[in-house]
Structure 1
Amino acid sequence: MTLSTEELTKKATQARRQIIETVHYAGAGHVGGPMSAIDLLIYLYFKEMNIDPSNPRGEDRDRFVLSKGHSAIGLYSVLALRGFMPVEELKTFDALNSRLQAHPDMNTLPGLDMSTGSLGQGISAAVGIALGAKLQKKYFRTYCIIGDGESQEGQVWEAADIAPKYKLDNLVVILDYNKLQQFGWNAEEGNRKIPVNEPQTRWEAFGWNVITIDGHNFNEIEAAFKLAKEVKGKPTIIIANTVKGKGVSFMENEFLWHSRVPTDEELHDALTELSVEG
Protein backbone atom coordinates (compact mmCIF):
# COMPACT_ATOMS: atom_id res chain seq x y z
CA MET A 1 0.00 0.00 0.00
CA THR A 2 1.06 3.59 -0.57
CA LEU A 3 0.37 5.67 2.52
CA SER A 4 1.83 9.02 3.54
CA THR A 5 3.53 9.60 6.87
CA GLU A 6 0.43 11.48 8.02
CA GLU A 7 -1.82 8.56 7.09
CA LEU A 8 0.44 6.07 8.85
CA THR A 9 0.43 8.28 11.96
CA LYS A 10 -3.37 8.35 11.97
CA LYS A 11 -3.51 4.56 11.63
CA ALA A 12 -1.11 4.22 14.56
CA THR A 13 -3.28 6.51 16.69
CA GLN A 14 -6.35 4.45 15.79
CA ALA A 15 -4.54 1.28 16.78
CA ARG A 16 -3.43 2.75 20.11
CA ARG A 17 -7.02 3.77 20.88
CA GLN A 18 -8.17 0.24 20.08
CA ILE A 19 -5.52 -1.29 22.35
CA ILE A 20 -6.61 0.77 25.35
CA GLU A 21 -10.33 0.34 24.69
CA THR A 22 -9.98 -3.41 24.20
CA VAL A 23 -7.90 -4.02 27.32
CA HIS A 24 -10.35 -1.91 29.33
CA TYR A 25 -13.33 -3.81 27.91
CA ALA A 26 -11.73 -7.23 28.47
CA GLY A 27 -10.44 -6.37 31.93
CA ALA A 28 -7.11 -7.93 31.04
CA GLY A 29 -4.18 -7.59 28.66
CA HIS A 30 -0.94 -5.74 28.06
CA VAL A 31 -0.68 -2.05 27.25
CA GLY A 32 2.92 -0.78 27.45
CA GLY A 33 4.58 -3.21 25.04
CA PRO A 34 1.91 -3.05 22.33
CA MET A 35 1.97 0.77 22.46
CA SER A 36 5.75 0.85 21.95
CA ALA A 37 5.61 -1.51 18.97
CA ILE A 38 2.53 -0.15 17.19
CA ASP A 39 4.30 2.20 14.76
CA LEU A 40 6.50 -0.68 13.62
CA LEU A 41 3.49 -2.96 13.19
CA ILE A 42 1.56 -0.33 11.27
CA TYR A 43 4.43 0.21 8.87
CA LEU A 44 4.93 -3.51 8.34
CA TYR A 45 1.29 -4.26 7.59
CA PHE A 46 0.38 -1.11 5.70
CA LYS A 47 3.52 -0.45 3.68
CA GLU A 48 6.34 -2.96 3.97
CA MET A 49 5.00 -6.50 3.69
CA ASN A 50 3.61 -8.25 0.63
CA ILE A 51 0.30 -9.46 2.09
CA ASP A 52 -3.33 -9.75 1.00
CA PRO A 53 -6.12 -9.88 3.61
CA SER A 54 -8.36 -11.62 1.07
CA ASN A 55 -5.76 -14.38 0.69
CA PRO A 56 -4.05 -14.60 4.10
CA ARG A 57 -2.37 -17.95 3.35
CA GLY A 58 -0.98 -16.97 -0.04
CA GLU A 59 2.14 -19.03 -0.72
CA ASP A 60 4.30 -16.09 -1.75
CA ARG A 61 3.21 -13.72 1.02
CA ASP A 62 5.76 -12.21 3.37
CA ARG A 63 5.77 -13.81 6.83
CA PHE A 64 5.64 -12.11 10.23
CA VAL A 65 6.34 -13.45 13.72
CA LEU A 66 5.54 -11.50 16.87
CA SER A 67 8.08 -13.08 19.19
CA LYS A 68 6.95 -10.90 22.11
CA GLY A 69 3.57 -12.62 21.93
CA HIS A 70 2.15 -10.97 25.05
CA SER A 71 1.77 -7.85 22.89
CA ALA A 72 -0.85 -9.67 20.82
CA ILE A 73 -3.51 -6.99 21.24
CA GLY A 74 -1.28 -4.60 19.30
CA LEU A 75 -1.02 -7.08 16.43
CA TYR A 76 -4.77 -7.80 16.53
CA SER A 77 -5.55 -4.09 16.33
CA VAL A 78 -3.37 -3.71 13.25
CA LEU A 79 -4.79 -6.86 11.63
CA ALA A 80 -8.30 -5.49 12.15
CA LEU A 81 -7.42 -2.11 10.63
CA ARG A 82 -5.77 -3.90 7.68
CA GLY A 83 -8.91 -5.93 6.98
CA PHE A 84 -7.98 -9.41 8.22
CA MET A 85 -10.97 -9.39 10.57
CA PRO A 86 -13.77 -7.02 11.66
CA VAL A 87 -12.74 -4.29 14.08
CA GLU A 88 -15.76 -5.25 16.20
CA GLU A 89 -14.17 -8.64 16.88
CA LEU A 90 -11.61 -6.94 19.12
CA LYS A 91 -14.32 -6.92 21.81
CA THR A 92 -13.91 -10.70 22.07
CA PHE A 93 -10.25 -10.36 23.10
CA ASP A 94 -9.23 -12.88 25.78
CA ALA A 95 -12.77 -14.29 25.97
CA LEU A 96 -13.58 -18.00 26.05
CA ASN A 97 -13.59 -19.51 22.53
CA SER A 98 -12.43 -16.24 20.95
CA ARG A 99 -9.98 -16.28 18.05
CA LEU A 100 -8.17 -13.45 19.83
CA GLN A 101 -6.49 -15.03 22.79
CA ALA A 102 -3.97 -13.30 25.06
CA HIS A 103 -1.22 -14.80 22.91
CA PRO A 104 -1.46 -15.32 19.13
CA ASP A 105 -2.81 -18.67 17.88
CA MET A 106 -2.03 -19.27 14.19
CA ASN A 107 -4.56 -22.10 14.03
CA THR A 108 -7.54 -19.86 14.70
CA LEU A 109 -6.86 -16.47 13.12
CA PRO A 110 -5.99 -15.79 9.45
CA GLY A 111 -2.92 -13.64 8.99
CA LEU A 112 -0.83 -15.24 11.73
CA ASP A 113 2.27 -17.17 10.73
CA MET A 114 3.32 -18.38 14.18
CA SER A 115 1.79 -19.02 17.60
CA THR A 116 3.92 -17.19 20.17
CA GLY A 117 4.04 -16.30 23.83
CA SER A 118 6.89 -18.35 25.25
CA LEU A 119 9.49 -15.60 25.24
CA GLY A 120 12.59 -16.13 23.15
CA GLN A 121 11.11 -18.76 20.84
CA GLY A 122 9.59 -16.60 18.10
CA ILE A 123 12.90 -15.57 16.57
CA SER A 124 13.87 -19.22 16.18
CA ALA A 125 10.67 -19.83 14.24
CA ALA A 126 11.43 -16.81 12.06
CA VAL A 127 14.92 -18.15 11.33
CA GLY A 128 13.39 -21.48 10.37
CA ILE A 129 10.85 -19.84 8.06
CA ALA A 130 13.55 -17.76 6.36
CA LEU A 131 15.80 -20.80 5.96
CA GLY A 132 12.89 -22.78 4.51
CA ALA A 133 12.34 -20.05 1.93
CA LYS A 134 16.00 -20.20 0.91
CA LEU A 135 15.96 -23.99 0.58
CA GLN A 136 12.78 -23.91 -1.51
CA LYS A 137 14.03 -20.96 -3.57
CA LYS A 138 11.11 -18.80 -2.51
CA TYR A 139 11.45 -15.04 -2.56
CA PHE A 140 9.20 -13.95 0.29
CA ARG A 141 10.74 -12.12 3.23
CA THR A 142 10.35 -12.91 6.93
CA TYR A 143 9.98 -10.27 9.63
CA CYS A 144 10.10 -10.74 13.40
CA ILE A 145 9.62 -8.34 16.31
CA ILE A 146 11.42 -9.26 19.52
CA GLY A 147 11.44 -7.54 22.91
CA ASP A 148 14.47 -6.36 24.84
CA GLY A 149 13.27 -8.13 27.97
CA GLU A 150 12.92 -11.44 26.15
CA SER A 151 16.41 -10.96 24.75
CA GLN A 152 17.71 -12.26 28.07
CA GLU A 153 16.64 -15.71 26.84
CA GLY A 154 19.51 -17.83 25.59
CA GLN A 155 17.43 -19.12 22.68
CA VAL A 156 17.45 -15.62 21.18
CA TRP A 157 21.22 -15.72 20.92
CA GLU A 158 21.26 -19.28 19.59
CA ALA A 159 19.02 -18.05 16.77
CA ALA A 160 21.18 -14.96 16.34
CA ASP A 161 24.22 -17.19 15.99
CA ILE A 162 22.78 -19.52 13.34
CA ALA A 163 21.09 -16.99 11.00
CA PRO A 164 24.32 -15.49 9.55
CA LYS A 165 25.69 -19.00 8.97
CA TYR A 166 22.94 -19.59 6.41
CA LYS A 167 23.22 -16.04 5.01
CA LEU A 168 19.57 -15.26 5.68
CA ASP A 169 19.35 -11.91 3.94
CA ASN A 170 15.61 -12.56 3.59
CA LEU A 171 15.20 -12.15 7.37
CA VAL A 172 14.65 -8.85 9.20
CA VAL A 173 14.38 -8.83 12.99
CA ILE A 174 13.15 -5.70 14.75
CA LEU A 175 14.13 -5.12 18.37
CA ASP A 176 11.43 -3.15 20.18
CA TYR A 177 13.98 -1.43 22.38
CA ASN A 178 11.76 0.30 24.93
CA LYS A 179 14.31 -0.41 27.69
CA LEU A 180 11.66 -1.35 30.25
CA GLN A 181 10.51 -4.88 30.90
CA GLN A 182 7.76 -6.03 33.24
CA PHE A 183 9.56 -5.37 36.52
CA GLY A 184 13.25 -4.86 35.82
CA TRP A 185 15.70 -5.35 38.66
CA ASN A 186 16.29 -3.44 41.82
CA ALA A 187 19.33 -1.24 41.52
CA GLU A 188 21.05 1.45 43.55
CA GLU A 189 18.77 4.35 44.44
CA GLY A 190 15.79 2.50 43.04
CA ASN A 191 16.79 2.91 39.40
CA ARG A 192 15.82 0.15 36.99
CA LYS A 193 18.43 -1.33 34.71
CA ILE A 194 18.00 -1.50 30.94
CA PRO A 195 17.22 -5.13 29.95
CA VAL A 196 19.82 -5.33 27.14
CA ASN A 197 22.90 -3.13 27.09
CA GLU A 198 24.66 -2.15 23.85
CA PRO A 199 22.47 -4.23 21.51
CA GLN A 200 24.17 -2.88 18.39
CA THR A 201 27.57 -4.19 19.50
CA ARG A 202 26.10 -7.55 20.49
CA TRP A 203 24.26 -8.17 17.22
CA GLU A 204 27.21 -7.01 15.14
CA ALA A 205 29.35 -9.52 17.00
CA PHE A 206 26.99 -12.28 15.86
CA GLY A 207 27.45 -11.19 12.24
CA TRP A 208 24.24 -9.26 11.61
CA ASN A 209 23.71 -6.09 9.63
CA VAL A 210 22.57 -3.62 12.30
CA ILE A 211 20.47 -0.49 11.74
CA THR A 212 19.52 1.78 14.65
CA ILE A 213 16.48 4.08 14.41
CA ASP A 214 13.80 6.00 16.25
CA GLY A 215 11.02 3.39 16.28
CA HIS A 216 8.31 6.07 16.29
CA ASN A 217 9.59 7.99 13.27
CA PHE A 218 8.02 6.66 10.07
CA ASN A 219 10.67 8.25 7.87
CA GLU A 220 13.43 6.45 9.74
CA ILE A 221 11.42 3.21 9.78
CA GLU A 222 10.96 3.39 6.01
CA ALA A 223 14.64 4.12 5.38
CA ALA A 224 15.68 1.19 7.58
CA PHE A 225 13.53 -1.35 5.73
CA LYS A 226 14.80 -0.06 2.39
CA LEU A 227 18.39 -0.48 3.56
CA ALA A 228 17.62 -4.00 4.78
CA LYS A 229 16.50 -5.00 1.27
CA GLU A 230 19.85 -3.90 -0.14
CA VAL A 231 21.92 -6.09 2.18
CA LYS A 232 23.09 -9.42 0.75
CA GLY A 233 24.55 -12.42 2.52
CA LYS A 234 23.53 -11.64 6.08
CA PRO A 235 20.36 -11.02 8.13
CA THR A 236 19.41 -7.55 9.34
CA ILE A 237 18.27 -6.41 12.75
CA ILE A 238 16.65 -3.00 13.17
CA ILE A 239 17.18 -1.68 16.68
CA ALA A 240 14.11 0.50 17.14
CA ASN A 241 14.44 2.88 20.07
CA THR A 242 10.92 3.13 21.44
CA VAL A 243 8.97 4.34 24.47
CA LYS A 244 6.91 1.90 26.49
CA GLY A 245 3.32 3.14 26.62
CA LYS A 246 3.98 5.55 23.74
CA GLY A 247 1.13 7.94 22.97
CA VAL A 248 -0.33 8.45 26.45
CA SER A 249 1.71 10.68 28.73
CA PHE A 250 0.89 8.97 32.03
CA MET A 251 1.68 5.53 30.57
CA GLU A 252 4.99 6.39 28.93
CA ASN A 253 8.14 4.91 30.51
CA GLU A 254 6.10 3.55 33.42
CA PHE A 255 6.67 -0.16 34.04
CA LEU A 256 3.37 -0.49 35.93
CA TRP A 257 1.58 -0.15 32.57
CA HIS A 258 3.17 -3.34 31.30
CA SER A 259 -0.12 -5.14 31.90
CA ARG A 260 -2.37 -2.86 33.95
CA VAL A 261 -6.04 -2.38 33.01
CA PRO A 262 -7.10 1.30 32.75
CA THR A 263 -9.85 2.56 35.01
CA ASP A 264 -12.81 4.38 33.46
CA GLU A 265 -11.16 7.71 34.23
CA GLU A 266 -7.79 6.61 32.84
CA LEU A 267 -9.51 5.33 29.70
CA HIS A 268 -11.17 8.70 29.20
CA ASP A 269 -7.93 10.60 29.74
CA ALA A 270 -5.97 8.30 27.40
CA LEU A 271 -8.51 8.52 24.60
CA THR A 272 -8.63 12.28 24.99
CA GLU A 273 -4.87 12.50 24.49
CA LEU A 274 -4.95 10.20 21.50
CA SER A 275 -7.79 12.06 19.84
CA VAL A 276 -5.74 15.25 20.02
CA GLU A 277 -2.72 13.49 18.51
CA GLY A 278 -4.78 11.82 15.80
Structure 2
Amino acid sequence: MSETTLTGPDRKTIGELEDLAYELRQKLLHLCGTYEGAVHIGGDLSVADILTVLFHHGLRVDPSDIANPARDRFVLSKGHAAVCMYIAMAMRGFFTYDEIVRTYGQLDSAYGMHPCKVQLPGVECSTGSLGHGLPLAVGMALSARHRREDHRVVCLLGDGETGEGSVWEAVMAARSNELGNLVAFVDRNRQLMTSHAGERVVFEPYPEKWRAFDWDVVEVDGHDMGQLVAALDALPAPDSHRPTVVICETVKGKGVDFMERNLAWHAGSLGREDLQKALLALETSRGAATREKESA
Protein backbone atom coordinates (compact mmCIF):
# COMPACT_ATOMS: atom_id res chain seq x y z
CA MET A 1 0.00 0.00 0.00
CA SER A 2 1.29 3.46 -0.87
CA GLU A 3 2.10 5.60 2.14
CA THR A 4 1.17 8.77 0.26
CA THR A 5 -2.52 9.59 0.41
CA LEU A 6 -4.58 11.78 -1.85
CA THR A 7 -8.24 12.64 -1.60
CA GLY A 8 -10.55 12.91 -4.57
CA PRO A 9 -12.06 16.13 -5.92
CA ASP A 10 -14.73 17.98 -3.99
CA ARG A 11 -17.84 16.06 -4.92
CA LYS A 12 -20.31 18.04 -7.02
CA THR A 13 -24.05 17.61 -7.21
CA ILE A 14 -25.56 16.22 -10.39
CA GLY A 15 -26.76 19.70 -11.32
CA GLU A 16 -23.32 21.21 -10.79
CA LEU A 17 -21.74 18.53 -12.97
CA GLU A 18 -24.33 19.17 -15.70
CA ASP A 19 -23.51 22.89 -15.55
CA LEU A 20 -19.79 22.10 -15.88
CA ALA A 21 -20.43 19.83 -18.88
CA TYR A 22 -22.46 22.60 -20.54
CA GLU A 23 -19.63 25.07 -19.92
CA LEU A 24 -17.16 22.57 -21.34
CA ARG A 25 -19.20 22.26 -24.54
CA GLN A 26 -19.41 26.05 -24.84
CA LYS A 27 -15.65 26.31 -24.54
CA LEU A 28 -15.19 23.55 -27.12
CA LEU A 29 -17.34 25.42 -29.61
CA HIS A 30 -15.57 28.72 -28.98
CA LEU A 31 -12.19 27.07 -29.62
CA CYS A 32 -13.55 25.43 -32.76
CA GLY A 33 -14.71 28.85 -33.89
CA THR A 34 -11.38 30.59 -33.30
CA TYR A 35 -8.86 27.97 -34.42
CA GLU A 36 -8.10 28.18 -38.14
CA GLY A 37 -7.67 24.43 -38.61
CA ALA A 38 -9.99 21.49 -37.99
CA VAL A 39 -10.98 20.36 -34.50
CA HIS A 40 -12.30 16.84 -33.80
CA ILE A 41 -15.45 18.45 -32.53
CA GLY A 42 -17.87 15.53 -33.01
CA GLY A 43 -15.99 13.13 -30.75
CA ASP A 44 -15.12 15.92 -28.33
CA LEU A 45 -18.80 16.67 -27.79
CA SER A 46 -19.63 12.99 -27.29
CA VAL A 47 -17.15 12.60 -24.39
CA ALA A 48 -17.80 15.95 -22.67
CA ASP A 49 -20.02 14.45 -19.97
CA ILE A 50 -17.65 11.54 -19.36
CA LEU A 51 -14.59 13.76 -18.96
CA THR A 52 -16.53 16.17 -16.76
CA VAL A 53 -17.55 13.45 -14.32
CA LEU A 54 -14.06 11.95 -14.31
CA PHE A 55 -12.16 15.17 -13.60
CA HIS A 56 -14.73 16.68 -11.24
CA HIS A 57 -16.00 13.60 -9.45
CA GLY A 58 -14.09 10.39 -10.05
CA LEU A 59 -10.37 10.88 -10.56
CA ARG A 60 -8.19 11.26 -7.50
CA VAL A 61 -5.78 13.87 -8.83
CA ASP A 62 -4.37 17.16 -7.54
CA PRO A 63 -3.57 19.88 -10.11
CA SER A 64 -1.12 21.43 -7.64
CA ASP A 65 0.73 18.14 -7.12
CA ILE A 66 0.67 16.36 -10.47
CA ALA A 67 3.46 13.92 -9.56
CA ASN A 68 1.82 12.65 -6.38
CA PRO A 69 2.39 8.86 -6.47
CA ALA A 70 -1.06 8.25 -4.98
CA ARG A 71 -2.83 9.94 -7.89
CA ASP A 72 -5.13 8.06 -10.23
CA ARG A 73 -3.76 7.74 -13.75
CA PHE A 74 -5.86 8.73 -16.74
CA VAL A 75 -5.15 7.57 -20.30
CA LEU A 76 -6.99 9.14 -23.23
CA SER A 77 -6.76 6.31 -25.74
CA LYS A 78 -8.92 8.20 -28.27
CA GLY A 79 -6.24 10.86 -28.49
CA HIS A 80 -8.13 12.91 -31.08
CA ALA A 81 -10.43 14.04 -28.23
CA ALA A 82 -7.47 15.88 -26.69
CA VAL A 83 -9.14 19.30 -26.84
CA CYS A 84 -11.99 18.09 -24.65
CA MET A 85 -9.49 16.64 -22.16
CA TYR A 86 -7.43 19.85 -22.14
CA ILE A 87 -10.49 21.94 -21.36
CA ALA A 88 -11.71 19.51 -18.68
CA MET A 89 -8.26 19.69 -17.07
CA ALA A 90 -8.24 23.49 -17.31
CA MET A 91 -11.63 23.64 -15.61
CA ARG A 92 -10.22 21.46 -12.84
CA GLY A 93 -7.29 23.88 -12.39
CA PHE A 94 -4.34 22.23 -14.16
CA PHE A 95 -3.83 25.29 -16.41
CA THR A 96 -5.97 28.00 -18.00
CA TYR A 97 -8.43 27.78 -20.86
CA ASP A 98 -7.07 31.01 -22.35
CA GLU A 99 -3.65 29.36 -22.62
CA ILE A 100 -5.18 26.52 -24.67
CA VAL A 101 -6.95 28.93 -27.03
CA ARG A 102 -3.85 31.10 -27.46
CA THR A 103 -1.48 28.32 -28.51
CA TYR A 104 -3.59 25.33 -29.62
CA GLY A 105 -2.15 23.48 -32.61
CA GLN A 106 0.84 25.78 -33.00
CA LEU A 107 4.40 24.55 -33.41
CA ASP A 108 5.85 23.58 -30.00
CA SER A 109 2.51 24.18 -28.28
CA ALA A 110 1.77 22.04 -25.23
CA TYR A 111 -1.74 21.66 -26.64
CA GLY A 112 -1.46 19.59 -29.79
CA MET A 113 -4.18 17.78 -31.70
CA HIS A 114 -3.12 14.69 -29.74
CA PRO A 115 -1.81 14.76 -26.15
CA CYS A 116 1.93 14.62 -25.49
CA LYS A 117 3.19 13.96 -21.97
CA VAL A 118 6.57 15.51 -22.84
CA GLN A 119 4.95 18.80 -23.83
CA LEU A 120 2.20 18.94 -21.20
CA PRO A 121 2.85 17.96 -17.56
CA GLY A 122 -0.21 16.26 -16.10
CA VAL A 123 -0.74 14.08 -19.17
CA GLU A 124 0.18 10.51 -18.28
CA CYS A 125 0.57 9.07 -21.80
CA SER A 126 1.16 10.38 -25.29
CA THR A 127 -1.65 8.92 -27.37
CA GLY A 128 -3.24 9.13 -30.78
CA SER A 129 -2.42 5.81 -32.46
CA LEU A 130 -5.75 4.13 -31.84
CA GLY A 131 -5.78 0.77 -30.10
CA HIS A 132 -2.71 1.53 -27.97
CA GLY A 133 -4.17 3.33 -24.97
CA LEU A 134 -5.65 0.32 -23.21
CA PRO A 135 -2.44 -1.76 -23.53
CA LEU A 136 -0.54 1.16 -21.97
CA ALA A 137 -3.12 1.37 -19.19
CA VAL A 138 -2.78 -2.37 -18.53
CA GLY A 139 0.98 -1.94 -18.10
CA MET A 140 0.45 0.97 -15.71
CA ALA A 141 -2.11 -0.98 -13.66
CA LEU A 142 0.18 -4.03 -13.51
CA SER A 143 3.07 -1.83 -12.38
CA ALA A 144 0.88 -0.41 -9.60
CA ARG A 145 0.08 -3.94 -8.49
CA HIS A 146 3.75 -4.88 -8.31
CA ARG A 147 4.50 -1.71 -6.33
CA ARG A 148 1.54 -2.34 -4.02
CA GLU A 149 0.05 1.04 -4.84
CA ASP A 150 -3.68 1.56 -4.44
CA HIS A 151 -4.54 4.06 -7.16
CA ARG A 152 -6.74 3.37 -10.18
CA VAL A 153 -5.84 3.55 -13.85
CA VAL A 154 -8.71 4.86 -15.98
CA CYS A 155 -8.67 4.62 -19.78
CA LEU A 156 -11.14 6.28 -22.18
CA LEU A 157 -11.52 4.54 -25.55
CA GLY A 158 -13.62 5.19 -28.62
CA ASP A 159 -15.79 2.28 -29.73
CA GLY A 160 -14.24 2.38 -33.21
CA GLU A 161 -10.78 1.61 -31.92
CA THR A 162 -12.08 -1.53 -30.20
CA GLY A 163 -11.97 -3.06 -33.66
CA GLU A 164 -8.20 -3.27 -33.09
CA GLY A 165 -6.76 -6.63 -32.03
CA SER A 166 -4.38 -4.95 -29.58
CA VAL A 167 -7.39 -3.83 -27.53
CA TRP A 168 -8.62 -7.38 -27.03
CA GLU A 169 -5.13 -8.65 -26.20
CA ALA A 170 -5.06 -5.99 -23.49
CA VAL A 171 -8.55 -6.97 -22.30
CA MET A 172 -7.41 -10.58 -21.90
CA ALA A 173 -4.15 -9.58 -20.21
CA ALA A 174 -5.96 -7.33 -17.73
CA ARG A 175 -8.27 -10.13 -16.55
CA SER A 176 -5.46 -12.70 -16.55
CA ASN A 177 -3.49 -10.45 -14.20
CA GLU A 178 -6.55 -9.71 -12.04
CA LEU A 179 -6.27 -5.95 -12.52
CA GLY A 180 -9.26 -4.70 -10.57
CA ASN A 181 -7.49 -1.34 -10.39
CA LEU A 182 -8.14 -0.83 -14.12
CA VAL A 183 -11.30 0.87 -15.41
CA ALA A 184 -12.10 1.35 -19.10
CA PHE A 185 -14.70 3.84 -20.32
CA VAL A 186 -15.94 3.30 -23.88
CA ASP A 187 -17.38 6.26 -25.79
CA ARG A 188 -19.91 4.26 -27.80
CA ASN A 189 -21.09 6.88 -30.25
CA ARG A 190 -21.37 4.23 -32.99
CA GLN A 191 -19.49 6.26 -35.58
CA LEU A 192 -16.12 5.90 -37.23
CA MET A 193 -14.32 8.68 -39.09
CA THR A 194 -16.07 8.15 -42.43
CA SER A 195 -18.88 5.69 -41.69
CA HIS A 196 -21.26 4.53 -39.02
CA ALA A 197 -20.14 1.66 -36.82
CA GLY A 198 -21.38 -1.67 -38.08
CA GLU A 199 -21.08 -0.71 -41.74
CA ARG A 200 -17.45 -1.85 -41.86
CA VAL A 201 -16.89 -3.73 -38.59
CA VAL A 202 -19.38 -5.99 -36.81
CA PHE A 203 -19.27 -4.88 -33.18
CA GLU A 204 -22.33 -6.72 -31.89
CA PRO A 205 -22.92 -8.31 -29.50
CA TYR A 206 -20.76 -5.60 -27.94
CA PRO A 207 -21.23 -5.81 -24.14
CA GLU A 208 -21.16 -9.60 -24.35
CA LYS A 209 -17.68 -9.47 -25.90
CA TRP A 210 -16.36 -7.78 -22.76
CA ARG A 211 -18.28 -10.20 -20.53
CA ALA A 212 -16.75 -13.11 -22.44
CA PHE A 213 -13.34 -11.91 -21.21
CA ASP A 214 -14.74 -11.92 -17.64
CA TRP A 215 -14.71 -8.18 -17.09
CA ASP A 216 -17.29 -6.43 -14.92
CA VAL A 217 -19.53 -4.67 -17.45
CA VAL A 218 -21.58 -1.55 -16.67
CA GLU A 219 -23.84 -0.03 -19.33
CA VAL A 220 -24.93 3.61 -19.01
CA ASP A 221 -26.29 6.54 -20.95
CA GLY A 222 -23.09 8.50 -21.46
CA HIS A 223 -24.98 11.80 -21.34
CA ASP A 224 -26.87 11.05 -18.12
CA MET A 225 -24.79 12.54 -15.33
CA GLY A 226 -26.65 10.61 -12.65
CA GLN A 227 -25.86 7.28 -14.31
CA LEU A 228 -22.20 8.23 -14.79
CA VAL A 229 -21.83 9.25 -11.13
CA ALA A 230 -23.56 6.05 -9.99
CA ALA A 231 -21.20 3.94 -12.13
CA LEU A 232 -18.14 5.63 -10.63
CA ASP A 233 -19.44 5.41 -7.08
CA ALA A 234 -20.15 1.69 -7.49
CA LEU A 235 -16.69 0.73 -8.78
CA PRO A 236 -15.11 -2.15 -6.85
CA ALA A 237 -12.10 -1.39 -4.69
CA PRO A 238 -8.77 -1.05 -6.55
CA ASP A 239 -7.51 -4.22 -4.84
CA SER A 240 -10.31 -6.30 -6.42
CA HIS A 241 -9.52 -8.89 -9.08
CA ARG A 242 -11.69 -8.06 -12.09
CA PRO A 243 -11.26 -4.98 -14.29
CA THR A 244 -14.36 -2.92 -15.08
CA VAL A 245 -15.60 -1.48 -18.36
CA VAL A 246 -18.23 1.27 -18.39
CA ILE A 247 -19.88 1.24 -21.83
CA CYS A 248 -21.32 4.71 -22.43
CA GLU A 249 -24.00 5.10 -25.10
CA THR A 250 -23.31 8.51 -26.60
CA VAL A 251 -24.14 10.72 -29.57
CA LYS A 252 -21.35 12.13 -31.69
CA GLY A 253 -21.77 15.91 -31.81
CA LYS A 254 -24.04 15.82 -28.74
CA GLY A 255 -25.82 19.08 -28.01
CA VAL A 256 -25.52 20.68 -31.45
CA ASP A 257 -28.35 19.47 -33.65
CA PHE A 258 -26.64 19.93 -37.03
CA MET A 259 -23.58 18.04 -35.79
CA GLU A 260 -25.31 15.13 -34.07
CA ARG A 261 -24.68 11.80 -35.85
CA ASN A 262 -23.40 13.77 -38.87
CA LEU A 263 -20.31 12.15 -40.41
CA ALA A 264 -19.24 15.53 -41.79
CA TRP A 265 -18.53 16.73 -38.24
CA HIS A 266 -15.96 14.13 -37.25
CA ALA A 267 -13.63 17.13 -37.58
CA GLY A 268 -14.18 20.65 -38.77
CA SER A 269 -14.08 24.34 -38.02
CA LEU A 270 -16.75 26.94 -37.35
CA GLY A 271 -17.02 30.36 -38.95
CA ARG A 272 -18.51 33.25 -37.02
CA GLU A 273 -22.09 32.60 -38.16
CA ASP A 274 -21.80 28.83 -37.64
CA LEU A 275 -20.38 29.39 -34.16
CA GLN A 276 -23.38 31.48 -33.14
CA LYS A 277 -25.69 28.89 -34.67
CA ALA A 278 -23.92 26.11 -32.74
CA LEU A 279 -24.04 28.01 -29.43
CA LEU A 280 -27.75 28.68 -29.90
CA ALA A 281 -28.36 25.00 -30.71
CA LEU A 282 -26.45 24.03 -27.56
CA GLU A 283 -28.53 26.41 -25.44
CA THR A 284 -31.75 25.10 -27.00
CA SER A 285 -30.70 21.51 -26.38
CA ARG A 286 -29.94 22.25 -22.77
CA GLY A 287 -33.28 23.96 -22.29
CA ALA A 288 -35.14 21.01 -23.78
CA ALA A 289 -33.24 18.59 -21.50
CA THR A 290 -34.09 20.71 -18.46
CA ARG A 291 -37.80 20.81 -19.33
CA GLU A 292 -37.85 17.04 -19.90
CA LYS A 293 -36.18 16.49 -16.54
CA GLU A 294 -38.66 18.76 -14.75
CA SER A 295 -41.67 17.05 -16.32
CA ALA A 296 -40.45 13.53 -15.51
Aligned to 1:25: 34
Indicate the SS of the match to 1:143. strand
Aligned to 1:84: 94
Aligned to 1:161: 172
- For residues 113-124 of structure 1, the aligned pairs below 5 Å read 113-124=124-135
Indicate the SS of the match to 1:229. coil
Aligned to 2:293: none
Structure 1 unaligned blocks of 5 or more: none
Q: Give the superposition deviation at 1:24.
A: 2.4
Q: Give the superposition deviation at 1:273.
A: 2.8
Q: Give the superposition deviation at 1:10.
A: 1.0
Indicate the SS of the match to 2:274. helix
Q: 165-174 or 10-19: which moved more?
A: 10-19
- Letter of the aligned partner of 1:116 in structure 2? T
Aligned to 2:154: 143
2: CA distance between counterparts of 1:256 and 1:196?
22
C-alpha contact 2:163 2:201 (8 A) present in aligned 1: no
* Alignment RMSD: 1.7
Distance change >3 Å, CA 186–CA 195, structure 1 → 2:
closer
Distance change >3 Å, CA 194–CA 268, structure 1 → 2:
farther
2:88 aligned with 1:74: no
Match of 2:208 among 195, 201, 225: 201
Match of 2:281 among 261, 273, 277: 273
Moved runs in structure 1, 4+ residues, more than 6 A?
none
Q: Output one character per residue of 1:122-170: Cα deviation in whole Å (capped at 9) or x when no partner.
A: 1111111111111100000010000111111111111011100010000
2:105 aligned with 1:97: no
C-alpha contact 1:148 1:195 (8 A) present in aligned 2: no
Distance change >3 Å, CA 80–CA 124, structure 1 → 2:
same
2: CA distance between counterparts of 1:134 and 1:224?
23
Question: What fraction of aligned residue pairs are identical, expressed as a percent?
Answer: 38
Query: What is the aligned residue count?
Result: 274
Q: Give the superposition deviation at 1:186.
A: 10
Distance change >3 Å, CA 245–CA 165, structure 1 → 2:
same
Indicate the SS of the match to 2:234. helix
C-alpha contact 1:182 1:258 (8 A) present in aligned 2: yes
- Letter of the aligned partner of 1:66 in structure 2? L
| TM, length-normalised to structure 1 | 0.94
Q: Give the superposition deviation at 1:193.
A: 6.0
Q: Give the superposition deviation at 1:107.
A: 1.2
Q: Give the superposition deviation at 1:263.
A: 2.5
- Letter of the aligned partner of 2:154 in structure 1? Y
| TM, length-normalised to structure 2 | 0.88
C-alpha contact 2:254 2:260 (8 A) present in aligned 1: yes
